Amino acid sequence: MKRLFLTILVAFFCLSEVAFAQKDMPYYSEINVDSLISATENLILLPEVKVYSNKRKAARAAKKYDKTVRNFKKVYPYVLEVSAIYRQIDDSLARMDSERQRRQYMNMREDQIMAHYKPIMSKFTLSQAKMFVKLLDRECGSTAYEVIKTLKGGFFAGTCQLFACMFGNDLKRSYDSDISDKALEILVIQYRQGRLG
């Protein structure tokens, strides 16, 4: 009986100590804003990581992503070059007065562009060509169809569009950074930040 009484007394004493200790804890009604600011100054934002549950699906998705990155690395530098050339040609044409002078300038530039870029772009795969068309719209602000129409005329642009449609491409396709081309937009951002080796 003494043991039971002693056990109950010890348990009661321990419980009362916990209860009193919790009452003595201070309650913070205000938050120190300065300490929060200093705590978030060294905040490092990490890129989003996707976790896949199915190994086969993950392997396929990783393979597809690697292919997209490979194509992007091959295509995007040429997109930047071509968009810079297009802006330069557009500025030069705007400063010329006569139509004859514009035609001569365009013929000269076309020969230069074709001599340099035709061997390169003829080696593009279909997926690389589609990516090139999308990224060209992003960088130029004009679809590939509009660029060709400006440089070569409407008939030639229509012929190129017909030929592209036969192979599943669309020169009039606009770049949509929010929905259909979101993955490309992320790659562009990473490329410009130097994070895309």
- Looking at mean pLDDT, say which of 42-46, 53-57, 98-102 comes out highest: 98-102
Burial annotation 144-156 (CB, 10 A radius, 16+ → b, else e): bbbbbbbbeeeee
Please tell me the pTM assigned to this model.
Answer: 0.65
Predicted confidence (pLDDT) at residue 24 exceeds the cutoff of 60: no
Residue 133 near residue 183 (C-beta atoms within 8 A): no
Per-residue b or e along 28-60, where b marks 16 or more CB atoms closer than 10 Å to that residue's CB: eeeeeeeeeeeeeeeeeeeeeeeeeeeeeeeee
Query: 123-136 burial by CB neighbour count: b if 16+ within 10 A, else e?
Result: ebeeebbbbbbbbb
Q: pLDDT tens digit string along 149-188? A: 877 788 988 888 898 888 888 888 888 877 788 888 888 8
Percent with pLDDT over 70 in the chain: 75
pLDDT band of residue 196 (cuts 50, 70, 90) is confident
Position 22 pLDDT exceeds 60: no
Q: What is the mean pLDDT of residues 111-135?
A: 88
